[in-house]
Chain A
Amino acid sequence: MSNAEKARELLAGALNLPEQQVDSSTMIGVTQQWDSLAHMRLMLALEEVLGSELEMEAVVNIASLSDVETMLANAKA
């Protein structure tokens, strides 16, 4: 599974949305389903996938689907 696919899967799961409804327009402040609890679910899911606590410098930058993808890519780099 590519980083883009994994990012979409994780974000859709956190937001309780079908994956096809998660796209480049999905972001904090725009997507109604992206609330504080969804954000927490996303952070915890990312930590589970990556197998470690997230770097706090990076956590605060996650606000869109592409940010999630970037985090996954950077973790593998």
Chain B
Amino acid sequence: MRQIKKRNIRLKTDRFVIRTLRDTDASEVMASWLADADLMKNVNHKPQRMSLLQLRRYISSYDQATRLLVGVFDAASEKPVGYYFIDINPTQRRATFNVVIGDRDYWGKRTVLETRAALMDYMFQYCVVEKLIGGPLARNFPAVFNYKAQGWKLEGLMKSHVLSASGTGRIDQYQFAMLKEDWQAIKSAGMQQNGLIEKEATA
């Protein structure tokens, strides 16, 4: 069986650094995001209060090969802003994106559009990925906006698709997608800001 190489991502955009999270990145700030019911509701995760040791273990649980945990940091202050968790299916050359912007000061400021563009460039260029999938919960209006604004195509509305982590029943979920050639066309048309890949290395 082919060994999938670990990724050591480091990307730079105008305002952000996006890089692979390591266990040493565990912080009270990130722990507070995982315990925040409003934030976790958007990705249908049950909020959980973790110690720093538990958080380090959680970060380490991502193999950084097909399950990536990538942090977003303010380029100027270096403070953590949020994170992406990305699952890569190498057989199907497909990746599924999820994002949490934990710092509310960065909401409504195109943080996701800027950082995800860089990650999309990286995925298509380095990860042998040809299709990206995003599955926002239907009532996560900001996330739905971000997919639409970035030019992702709606593939469908999946009714009662997932069980609510908060125990309130089943909830609807959209599926958005971006094909490699569509992203290239969007970029060629000058509709999206390019992310700059500052450095790419494998561990």
Binding site for B on A (CB under 8 A): 28-29, 34-40, 43-44, 53, 56-57, 59-60, 63
Q: Is the CB of A35 within 8 A of B141?
A: no
| Pair B108/A36 contact, Cβ less than 8 Å | yes
Question: Do A29 and B157 contact each other (CB < 8 Å), given the known contacts A36-B146, A39-B141, A60-B174?
Answer: no
Q: Chain B residue with minimal CB distance to A62?
A: B148
Q: Contact flags (1/0) for B135-163 with A, using CB distance below 8 Å?
A: 00011011111101101001001000000
Q: Is B109 an interface residue (CB 8 A)?
A: yes
Contact of B149 among A28, A40, A44, A56 (CB under 8 A): A28
Name the CB-closest residue of B to A63: B148
Interface string of B2-27 (1 = CB under 8 A from A): 00000000000000000000000000
Q: Are A60 and B157 in contact, with the CB atoms below 8 A?
A: yes
Residue B110, interface by CB 8 Å: yes
Known A-B contacts A28-B148, A29-B191, A60-B148; the reply to A39 vs B154 at CB < 8 A is no
- Smallest CB–CB gap between A28 and chain B, Å? 5
Complex CA gap A56/B141 in Å reads 10
Contacts known (A35-B110, A56-B172, A63-B148); A40 close to B157, Cβ less than 8 A: no
Taking a contact as CB atoms under 8 Å apart, the answer to whether B142 and A40 are in contact is yes
**When chains A and B are docked, how far (Å) is the Cα of A56 from the Cα of B139?**
8
Q: A29-B191, A60-B157, A60-B174 are in contact. Are A39 and B138 (CB under 8 A)?
A: no
Q: Does B112 contact A (CB under 8 A)?
A: yes
User: Given A56-B138, A56-B172, A60-B174, do A35 and B145 touch, yes or no (CB 8 Å)?
Assistant: yes
Are B138 and A59 in contact, with the CB atoms below 8 A? yes
Most buried by A among B110, B145, B149: B145
CB distance from A18 to the nearest CB of B (A): 19
- Tell me, rounded to whole Å, the shortest Cβ–Cβ distance linking B143 to chain A: 8
B58, CB-defined interface residue at 8 Å: no
- A59 to B148 CA separation, bound complex (whole angstroms): 11
Q: Can you list, as one digit per residue, whether each of B94-116 has a CB less than 8 Å from chain A (1) or not (0)?
A: 00000000000001111010000
| Chain A hits for B141, CB < 8 A | 36, 39-40, 43-44, 59
Contacts of A39 in B (CB 8 A): 141-142, 144-145
What is the CA–CA distance of A38 and B110 in the complex, to the nearest angstrom? 11
**Chain B positions within 8 Å of A34 at CB level:** 149
> Which residues of A sit under 8 angstroms from B157, Cβ to Cβ?
56-57, 60
Complex alpha-carbon distance, A43 and B157, angstroms? 17
Contacts A28-B148, A29-B149, A60-B174 hold; do A36 and B154 have CB atoms under 8 A apart?
no
